Chains A and B, each alone.
Chain A
Amino acid sequence: MLLSPPVDARLDTAIRTEGLAKAFGSRRAVDDLTLDVAPGEVLALLGPNGAGKTTTVRLLNGVLAPDAGRATVLGLDPAVEGDAVRRRTGVLTENAGLDDRLTARENLVYTARIRGMARDEAEHRATEVLEQFAMTDMADLRVHGFSTGQRKRVALARALLHDPEILFLDEPTSGLDPTATREVIGLIARLASEEGRTVILCTHFLGEAGRLADRMAVLHRGRLVVFGRPDEIAAGLWPGLDVDVDLDGPADVGLVETVRALAGVIDARPSDPGLRVVVEDREAVPGVAAALGARGVVLYGITPRPPTLEDVYFAIEAQVEATT
């Protein structure tokens, strides 16, 4: 069993940053970043390539020193106590970073030894995590011939060797085929939900973030443009809740007007299968169904469609692009 108790219960935040900044030459990789992550939370750090996600992970692990601001990870300042932070965090880098000349087991055992485990303990843990990630059969093969998915699994196993309290996953599914992506997402979901680990998920694949994240932080050219729960952010972006009504064909004008006049309905318009209705909240949905039934309309389905994280992200990106 991998799990140790998640982040120290006495800490109300696992991670906190205040005005964190890092520049490479004239390019600001991270600019005035202020956010916090609660213990056990899954935070999706989103943004296009070059947004500052990887730099943020490096700053939070004491691999880079900030130019300004400060960070606290598990109550420690990574710029000062980098080793102490890195003992308690695990990082899956975008590139798996395995030595091709070593076997999967050797990659893990040497990492465990560098982390201070005794030889027997290192061997035991390596065997345990390789089994957990279904890599036992390949444990003693050199990594050289491994697929991207197999490398990611070994690298994920390596990140978990020491049972970290915070797990940083930098583009965990990049380069994976759909099957491997689903496998890795499943593994991460299990780590987050069943094991209660704090997870920072850096990605530009929004589907996986939407499935896993409690909150999202969107970075754009190093700046935090939005931070919060996807549904709360969505509420600020769009009024109401979209509902798809399947009538097996577009609704006529009269029906659209009838629905639009109902209490709790903000808007209604014809769509390909029938109607797209915007209601104030989901409490208004039964009223729409009842009104359609009263008019003798044959109703094939009525589906609330809350905005996905993807919808939210693209709306934010559009806003950012419009203002820059």
Chain B
Amino acid sequence: MTATALGRPAREPIAWGAIRAIVARDLTAVRRAKAVFLPMLFVPALLLVVVPLGIGLAARSVGSVDVSPFLDRLPADLAAPIATRPPSEQMILLVNGYLLAPLFLIVPLMVSAVLAADAFAGEKERRTLESLLHLPVSDRDLFLAKLLVSFIPALAVSWIGFVCFAIVSNGVGWPVVHRIFVPTQLWMVMIVWVAPAVAALGLGVMVRVSARAETAQEANQLGGAVILPLIFLAMGQATGLLLVDLPIAVGIGAFVWLIAIWLIARGAKRFTRDRMSI
């Protein structure tokens, strides 16, 4: 008898009712855990509301800022729409329409990683895992529920956050730009393609590290290293060292999806009652 034989045979249909109940239970509990919940609101609010608001207000107050040295280093297809605008518009178009896009990826990554750490390692930490394993939910459905607990809110926070970002950016930039300039094409690729991939990556990393971690905090520390490439990406974008244009963004998204799917698939193989209850 192998461990994978435990639980409901794979041919049985997915028990969506049980999955919905697990997702609802976990999200209700997370909503009440201020240490988990507040950072998930604070970071998106900072990145997607406070920063664009500040940039917009600065652009309005200082008038024109010479961003041409930076624009010279950008790929032509990205720089052209900005360079052809009046100097007073260029800073807000550059920052809110371009430079913040990679930084935005921290939001889906952080939300999915924090929730996944709570969903996987947190069950061990709270000593609620064993009673969950004694319920009639297959390993597959339990794993799926835990993925959704992390993935759906990560996308929801990202997308709602982006809508706020667009409203703030366009609102505060209107007196300068006189038109709706967010979302740009780069933003659309980030939102629709790269952000879900990054959320899945955070999830995949946490599924792996949670198998070894005993607490959600430990999992977060172990998984924290995954945020570093994103910081480098954002810094590269800001300094012009790594220039994310549309093809690169699509490519990064595809690469991240591949890694995420590989991590999640490996995590799924190891996600058996026999392993978890030891």
Kindly name the residue among A83, A84, A89, A93 whose own CB sees the greatest number of chain B CB atoms within 10 A. Answer: A83
A97 to B126, CA, bound (A): 8
Q: Are A86 and B22 in contact (CB under 8 A)?
A: no
* Residues of B in contact, count (CB < 8 Å): 37
Judge whether B21 is part of the interface by a CB distance below 8 angstroms: yes
Residue of A nearest to B29 (CB): A101
Q: With contacts A95-B130, A99-B128 known, is A83 near B8, CB below 8 A? A: yes
Q: Which listed residue, A89, A97, A99, A116, touches B130 by the CB 8 Å rule? A: A97
B29 / chain A contacts, CB cutoff of 8 Å: 99, 101-102
Q: Which of B1-39 contact A (CB under 8 A)?
A: 1-3, 5-8, 15, 17-18, 20-22, 24-25, 28-30, 32-33
The reply to whether A99 and B134 form a contact with Cβ atoms under 8 Å apart is no
Assembled-state Cα–Cα distance A80/B2 (Å): 10
- The listed residue (A87, A89, A93, A102) touching B25 by CB distance below 8 A is A102
Asked whether, in the complex, the Cβ of A63 is within 8 Å of the Cβ of B134, the reply is yes
Q: Is A172 an interface residue, CB under 8 A from the partner?
A: no
Contact stretch, chosen from A105-113, A228-236, A252-260, A316-324: A105-113
Nearest A-chain residue to B145, judged by Cβ: A114
**Contact between A99 and B7 (Cβ–Cβ < 8 Å)?**
no
Contacts A95-B127, A95-B130, A110-B21 given; does A62 touch B135 at CB 8 Å: no
Contact of A79 with B6 at beta-carbon distance under 8 Å, contacts A65-B274, A97-B130 already known: yes
Query: Are the CB atoms of A97 and B131 closer together than 8 Å?
Result: yes
Chain A interface, number of residues (Cβ within 8 angstroms): 36
Q: Tell me if A82 is interfacial: C-beta within 8 Å of chain B.
A: yes
Q: For the complex, give the distance between the alpha carbons of A91 and B135 in Å.
A: 9
Asked whether A113 and B21 contact (CB < 8 A) given A79-B5, A86-B135, A93-B134, the answer is yes
* A282 interfacial by beta-carbon distance below 8 Å: no
Contacts A79-B6, A82-B7; is A99 near B25 (CB within 8 Å)?
Answer: yes
Q: CA A83 – CA B274 in complex, angstroms?
A: 14
Docked-complex contact A113 and B134, CB < 8 angstroms:
no
Q: Which among A61, A62, A98, A101 has the greatest number of chain B C-beta atoms within 10 A?
A: A101
Tell me the chain B residues, 87-139 only, with Cβ under 8 Å from chain A. Answer: 126-138
Q: Which residues of B contact A61 (CB under 8 A)?
A: 134
Asked if residues B5 and A80 are in contact (CB atoms below 8 Å), the reply is yes
A114 touches B128 (CB 8 A): no
Interface status of B273 (Cβ within 8 A of chain A):
yes
B84 within 8 A of A: no
Please give, as numbers and ranges, the residues of chain A lying within 8 Å of B134 by CB-CB distance.
61, 63, 86, 89, 91, 93
Pick the residue among A64, A80, A110 that contacts B274 (CB under 8 A): A64
Residues in B with CB closer than 8 Å to A65 are 1-3, 5-6, 274
In the complex, chain A residues whose CB is within 8 Å of the CB of B30: 101
- Does residue B62 face the partner (Cβ distance < 8 Å to A)? no
The minimal Cβ–Cβ distance linking A100 to chain B, given in whole angstroms, is 7
B132 nearest in chain A by CB position = A97
Cβ < 8 Å to A, chain B residues 224-278: 273-274, 277-278
Chain A residues in 8 Å Cβ range of B129: 97
Chain B, Cβ-Cβ closest to A55: B277
A84 to B6, CA, bound (A): 11
Q: Report the minimal beta-carbon distance from B144 to chain A, rounded to whole angstroms.
A: 13
A98-B128 CB under 8 A given contacts A63-B277, A82-B273, A86-B134: yes
CB distance from A3 to the nearest CB of B (A): 21
Q: Is A182 an interface residue (CB 8 A)?
A: no
- A86-B136, A93-B131, A102-B28 known, 7 other contacts, Cβ within 8 Å: A58-B277, A63-B133, A80-B1, A82-B136, A99-B29, A113-B17, A116-B17
Which residues of B are at the interface with A, using a C-beta cutoff of 8 A?
Answer: 1-3, 5-8, 15, 17-18, 20-22, 24-25, 28-30, 32-33, 126-138, 273-274, 277-278
Can you list 23 A-B pairs with a CB-CB distance of less than 8 A? Answer: A61-B134, A62-B273, A63-B134, A63-B277, A64-B273, A65-B274, A66-B1, A80-B5, A82-B136, A83-B136, A84-B136, A91-B131, A91-B134, A95-B130, A97-B128, A97-B130, A97-B132, A99-B126, A110-B21, A113-B25, A114-B25, A116-B15, A116-B136
Q: Which 7 A-B pairs have the closest CB atoms?
A: A97-B131, A113-B21, A110-B25, A86-B136, A101-B29, A83-B136, A91-B134
